[in-house]
Chain A
Amino acid sequence: MFQRWKESITPTDIVMWLIGGSLLLMILWGSAATIAAGKYTGRHWIDFVIFGLAQGSIYALIATGYTMVYGVLKMINFAHGEIFMSGPYTAYFVAAAMYRSDFLDHHPYTALLVIFVVAMTVSTLIAYFLEKIAYRPLRDAPRLIPLITAIGASFFLQYTFRGLYGSGFQAYPVIKIFEGHWTLLGIRILKFQVVVIVAAILLMVALYSFIMLTRAGKAIRAVSEDKEASSLMGINVDGMVSTTFVIGGMAAGAAGVLYALMFKQVHFFMGFIPGIKAFTAAVLGGIGNIPGAMLGGIFLGLIESVGPSLFLDGLGIPAPYQLKDAIAFTMLVLVLIFRPTGIMGERLAAKKA
């Protein structure tokens, strides 16, 4: 058996392992140096981990919608970031009006519900029409064509929203019930961070059960396996694809509101970088895999938060936080070298043995 394995590896494999190995070595060396230097206490590390979990949950939220669409259509929906942006940006005006009239302070839960509904509706509508106008005609085209369409749609949406709402920032009002922090087991954690982490888990559970347990979910899985066979079996492929986009849009809208509530700023360009990070997170976890997206998102958030402090600080590198995206992408490459289809592999739903 060992013989067979020895025969199957090629020089490229060896080079790749060398690269992977040396990266790992650097990471370990940096971590050791940082811990030895003792700049951060245990409390600090816990803080870093919590920041990472919260940020990662946000990435997970966005990545989950993204990965669902990818799983069905096998296309990189570059415009997902803009679908994510459109909901909260539009809902901002509603939120601001409610804030001005004090409705927000007196009935925070109702106000939140309204904001979520508005944002999710807008995002869903944009996702639905995007699919219908721009993606459906190109469903059978070679992969690069819908990619360019998605890129074009992304620019178009960004600048349309810029033209409509202006190029400045708007800031979401502060919602008092979410401010402040709790102390669990001696760890200080912000209320909102808990909300976000819980929301991400809930969303993942909801989407996963939808895909696995409902009939529509089964139909979507069928479509993602084989479109033609599904349509032969009587499944309305167009309808299922639309449904996927609608759900993806709803998820993006909800993620957007949480993002806006956490970071307060909405802006026409706010979806671009989260879109790329969601793509990264989805790939990390395995494209098309919903639990994978969650995992990928959390992993990405943790790397961005813990990485610079752990790996680079010890090596004496100035301004390590500037390099956090570089670390994240390096880790991505590292993961992909050892597991080319992502951490959890790439099925839309885990194959039952």
Chain B
Amino acid sequence: MIRTRALWEHGVKTGMIGGISALLVALVGMVESFHRRDIIAEMVTMGQILLLALGIMMGYIAARRTPDREPATRCLNAMIGSLVTGGFLALLVAFGRLVNLRDVLVNASPMLYKLLTLGHSGIAGILLILLIGSGCGVFSAVLYFLPHLVRRVAIASLSSMIVVGVLQDLIRPVLSAWGPVAVIGDWLFTGNGLTLSGAISIVVLIAIITSVWALKGETIRTGYTRLSGGSRRGIRAGGLLILALVLFALPHILGLFLSEVLTIVGLYVLLGLGLNIVVGYAGMLDLGYVAFFAIGSYVTAILTSPELGFFSFTFWQALPFAVIIGVFSGVLLGIPVLKMRGDYLAIATLGFGEIIRILVLSDFLRPWLGGAQGAGKIPKASIFGYLFVGPQQIYYLILAGCLLVVFISLRLKGSRLGRAWMAMREDEDVAQAMGINLVATKLLAFATGAGFSALSGAVFASKLGSVYPHSFNVMISINILCLIIVGGIGSIPGVIVGAAALVGLPELLREFAEYRMLVYGAALVAMMLLRPEGLWPEARHRIEFHEAQTESRKPEPSPAT
């Protein structure tokens, strides 16, 4: 009796989750709009891959979660999982063809149904969906029972092919810009997607690389640890040198748009490092960080823009003023919130961010700050006649800024001040009892964070050539907070990785702008559920997090009750 229940229970449950996800994905319009992009030209589109992947994943998860060890049961669950997922879609099509859902759910259109049923009308179409669902089930079952290594290889190679297909817009210009390499571009891509031969070659190539790494990886790693300290350091230095050369040449390899993306990511890294000090080191939740970014930009604008007409400094002359005034405003805005803790601090700083934004937008300050129209004609930076005008040059400016700020952050972390911050973060009262001057420590944290932010703001103003009040809204503060936490609180490489993930990826996927935020939100939730310590956390945090989780996990009720 009990065994029968458990037989299909997980399959159905997972299938239902999958079904609802599939429905959601179809009804928000993702499937239709992804359908426009071919992964393999004329054969498979991104929309289809999305649904197939969902189906396969659900089957796989169903198989994995089945507590029963017997392969038949697992297979069954896999099949059921994928089938139910497909079933939900079939129901949608069936229902939607009878009742006009379009007035409420704007995407439940005949186009969608045609897509889902591959153009077949009536019962044939619906059966086709169920058939495809079962196909996914079979595939996922097979995937589950493959030996571990083969499975890794298969997943890696197929996903790489899909990723290349998705990012074709970015890869193609890069490849075609470099003469001899352009041939690879022609071999891989055509018209709207990958060529069949191109797709197969990517799959094969990645399969080979993954298998080699999997088989030989251990040997290489143990070999590395066996090396002596001296040669290890040598390898490390060599690695750093290569990294430096790559970082250096990056804008010229990657071309115009990708350099632009790198500059945007770089600006957010600067901002993230600053907020990292306030939130990560000192533990103060600041939701109004964009205020200092705005101050840095506007000071630069006031000092350099001929449109506002007050001064006409060059960028380099304005930069120190921007940073110093930023630091000063950090202190100024830090004073009123000294006694506030936790969420009161959060809302008060949010308030400051909004106050600054409203002030720079206002008609009241328009004669000095430009009001809604903003201020333009901010000069680009230049050194000895070399003008930092396009993204490929501004990249270097930002790279230098990032290196500077990383350096300062690292030094601060290991210094007395850094330790005072961390003590304050853990427990303010104890820190004060130990003799730490809370006021000075807090203000220094705000000041340093504000300084980095103002630096970023000044570069931003020069890069864009103008400042608009609409660029400085609360979403930016929220974004920066998200990226430092997703990267790993307090961790410097974490900030870089977080910026790449939460700022770089959405920029790369600008074409799918409509679904960017949806995926962003879902990704944030998923990250926090699966890996709350972040993508590249400090070692200490990783231990802390998993400790907390193992402690609080209650024993699951055994299925045989």
Residues of A at the B interface (CB closer than 8 Å) are 10, 12, 15-16, 19, 70, 76, 93, 134, 137-141, 143-149, 151-160, 162-166, 276, 279-280, 283, 287, 317-320, 322-323, 325-326, 329-330, 332-333, 336-337, 340-342
Q: Tell whether B34 is near chain A: CB-to-CB under 8 Å.
A: no
Do A152 and B348 have beta carbons less than 8 Å apart? no
Within the assembled complex, what's the spacing in Å between the Cα atoms of A223 and B341? 22
Do A164 and B517 have beta carbons less than 8 Å apart? no
A-B contact pairs, 27 of them (CB 8 A): A12-B335, A16-B336, A134-B528, A138-B529, A138-B532, A140-B548, A140-B549, A144-B489, A145-B528, A148-B485, A149-B525, A151-B482, A152-B523, A152-B524, A156-B522, A156-B524, A158-B521, A159-B517, A159-B521, A160-B518, A162-B28, A163-B515, A164-B24, A322-B361, A326-B355, A333-B337, A340-B339
Within the assembled complex, what's the spacing in Å between the Cα atoms of A320 and B29? 42
Q: Which of B513-538 contact A (CB under 8 A)?
A: 514-515, 517-518, 520-525, 527-529, 532
Do B343 and A76 have beta carbons less than 8 Å apart? yes
Do A341 and B344 have beta carbons less than 8 Å apart? yes
A148-B485, A152-B521, A164-B107 given; A319·B362 CB < 8 A: yes
Within the assembled complex, what's the spacing in Å between the Cα atoms of A341 and B517? 34
Q: How far is the CB of B113 from chain A (nearest CB, A)?
A: 16
Do B104 and A156 have beta carbons less than 8 Å apart? no
Do A157 and B521 have beta carbons less than 8 Å apart? yes
Do A163 and B30 have beta carbons less than 8 Å apart? yes
Q: How far is the CB of A331 from chain B (nearest CB, A)?
A: 9
Measured between beta carbons, the chain A residues less than 8 angstroms from B527 are: 148, 152
Do B351 and A332 have beta carbons less than 8 Å apart? yes
Measured between beta carbons, the chain B residues less than 8 angstroms from A166 are: 106
Interface of B is mostly: helix
Q: How far is the CB of A19 from chain B (nearest CB, A)?
A: 6
Q: Tell whether B364 is near chain A: CB-to-CB under 8 Å.
A: yes
Query: B17-33, CB under 8 A of A: which get 1 and which 0?
Result: 00000001001111000
Q: Tell whether B118 is near chain A: CB-to-CB under 8 Å.
A: no
Do A283 and B344 have beta carbons less than 8 Å apart? yes
Q: How far is the CB of A77 from chain B (nearest CB, A)?
A: 11
Do A140 and B515 have beta carbons less than 8 Å apart? no
Within the assembled complex, what's the spacing in Å between the Cα atoms of A76 and B514? 27
Q: Tell whether B146 is near chain A: CB-to-CB under 8 Å.
A: no
Do B517 and A165 have beta carbons less than 8 Å apart? no
Within the assembled complex, what's the spacing in Å between the Cα atoms of A325 and B346? 17
Q: Tell whether B42 is near chain A: CB-to-CB under 8 Å.
A: no
Measured between beta carbons, the chain A residues less than 8 angstroms from B52 are: none
A19-B336, A151-B478 given; A164·B518 CB < 8 A: no
Do A159 and B343 have beta carbons less than 8 Å apart? no
Q: How far is the CB of A277 from chain B (nearest CB, A)?
A: 11
Residues of B at the A interface (CB closer than 8 Å) are 24, 27-30, 103-107, 279, 285, 335-344, 346-348, 350-352, 354-355, 358-359, 361-364, 366, 439, 474, 478, 481-482, 485-486, 489, 514-515, 517-518, 520-525, 527-529, 532, 545, 548-549, 551-552
Do A141 and B344 have beta carbons less than 8 Å apart? no
Measured between beta carbons, the chain B residues less than 8 angstroms from A317 are: 364
Determine which of B338, B347, B351, B528 lies in contact with A152 in the assembled complex, contact meaning CB atoms within 8 Å.
Answer: B528
Measured between beta carbons, the chain B residues less than 8 angstroms from A10 are: 439
Q: How far is the CB of A62 from chain B (nearest CB, A)?
A: 15
Do A333 and B348 have beta carbons less than 8 Å apart? yes
Given A149-B529, A164-B24, 9 other A-B residues pairs in contact with their CB atoms under 8 A: A137-B529, A140-B548, A144-B285, A147-B481, A154-B521, A323-B358, A325-B358, A329-B352, A333-B336
- Of all chain A residues, the one with the shortest Cβ separation from B283 is A144
Interface of A is mostly: helix
Do B344 and A323 have beta carbons less than 8 Å apart? no
Do A330 and B478 have beta carbons less than 8 Å apart? no
Top-10 shortest CB links A-B:
A163-B28, A152-B524, A155-B521, A329-B351, A156-B521, A159-B518, A319-B363, A166-B106, A152-B525, A326-B358
Do A148 and B529 have beta carbons less than 8 Å apart? no
Measured between beta carbons, the chain A residues less than 8 angstroms from B351 are: 280, 329-330, 332-333
Within the assembled complex, what's the spacing in Å between the Cα atoms of A283 and B489? 26
Q: How far is the CB of B116 from chain A (nearest CB, A)?
A: 16
Within the assembled complex, what's the spacing in Å between the Cα atoms of A241 and B79? 36
Within the assembled complex, what's the spacing in Å between the Cα atoms of A322 and B344? 25
- Of all chain B residues, the one with the shortest Cβ separation from A158 is B517
Within the assembled complex, what's the spacing in Å between the Cα atoms of A330 and B239? 52
Do B105 and A165 have beta carbons less than 8 Å apart? yes
Measured between beta carbons, the chain A residues less than 8 angstroms from B529 are: 134, 137-138, 149
Within the assembled complex, what's the spacing in Å between the Cα atoms of A76 and B344? 11
- Of all chain B residues, the one with the shortest Cβ separation from A324 is B358
Within the assembled complex, what's the spacing in Å between the Cα atoms of A56 and B58? 47
Measured between beta carbons, the chain A residues less than 8 angstroms from B489 are: 144
A152-B524, A159-B28, A329-B355 given; A145·B347 CB < 8 A: no
Do B524 and A164 have beta carbons less than 8 Å apart? no
Measured between beta carbons, the chain B residues less than 8 angstroms from A287 are: 343-344
Q: How far is the CB of B366 from chain A (nearest CB, A)?
A: 8
Do B335 and A153 have beta carbons less than 8 Å apart? no
Do B524 and A323 have beta carbons less than 8 Å apart? no
Within the assembled complex, what's the spacing in Å between the Cα atoms of A138 and B335? 33
Do B354 and A326 have beta carbons less than 8 Å apart? yes
Measured between beta carbons, the chain B residues less than 8 angstroms from A139 are: 552
Measured between beta carbons, the chain A residues less than 8 angstroms from B343 are: 70, 76, 283, 287
- Of all chain B residues, the one with the shortest Cβ separation from A157 is B521
Measured between beta carbons, the chain B residues less than 8 angstroms from A336 are: 336-337, 340, 344, 348
Do B364 and A319 have beta carbons less than 8 Å apart? yes
Do B29 and A153 have beta carbons less than 8 Å apart? no
Do A276 and B338 have beta carbons less than 8 Å apart? no
**Most A-side CB within 10 Å, residue of B338, B364, B527, B528:** B528
Within the assembled complex, what's the spacing in Å between the Cα atoms of A99 and B79? 46
A138-B528, A148-B485, A283-B343 given; A12·B521 CB < 8 A: no
Determine which of B24, B338, B340, B486 lies in contact with A148 in the assembled complex, contact meaning CB atoms within 8 Å.
Answer: B486
Do B342 and A152 have beta carbons less than 8 Å apart? no
Q: How far is the CB of B177 from chain A (nearest CB, A)?
A: 35
Measured between beta carbons, the chain A residues less than 8 angstroms from B359 are: 323, 326
Q: How far is the CB of B532 from chain A (nearest CB, A)?
A: 5
Do A152 and B520 have beta carbons less than 8 Å apart? yes
Do A145 and B363 have beta carbons less than 8 Å apart? no
- Of all chain A residues, the one with the shortest Cβ separation from B525 is A152
Within the assembled complex, what's the spacing in Å between the Cα atoms of A70 and B344? 12
Within the assembled complex, what's the spacing in Å between the Cα atoms of A163 and B112? 14
A145-B532, A148-B482, A149-B529 given; A323·B523 CB < 8 A: no
Do A16 and B338 have beta carbons less than 8 Å apart? yes
Do B355 and A340 have beta carbons less than 8 Å apart? no
Determine which of A16, A93, A326 lies in contact with B104 in the assembled complex, contact meaning CB atoms within 8 Å.
Answer: A93
Within the assembled complex, what's the spacing in Å between the Cα atoms of A73 and B529? 17
Do B525 and A332 have beta carbons less than 8 Å apart? no
Do A280 and B347 have beta carbons less than 8 Å apart? yes
Do A156 and B518 have beta carbons less than 8 Å apart? yes
- Of all chain A residues, the one with the shortest Cβ separation from B107 is A163
Measured between beta carbons, the chain B residues less than 8 angstroms from A156 are: 518, 521-522, 524-525
A12-B439, A148-B528, A283-B344 given; A322·B355 CB < 8 A: no
A148-B481, A319-B364, A322-B361 given; A155·B347 CB < 8 A: no
Measured between beta carbons, the chain A residues less than 8 angstroms from B548 are: 140-141
Do B342 and A163 have beta carbons less than 8 Å apart? no
Measured between beta carbons, the chain A residues less than 8 angstroms from B354 are: 325-326, 329
Measured between beta carbons, the chain A residues less than 8 angstroms from B104 are: 93, 165
Measured between beta carbons, the chain A residues less than 8 angstroms from B486 are: 148
A318-B364, A332-B351, A333-B351 given; A16·B339 CB < 8 A: yes
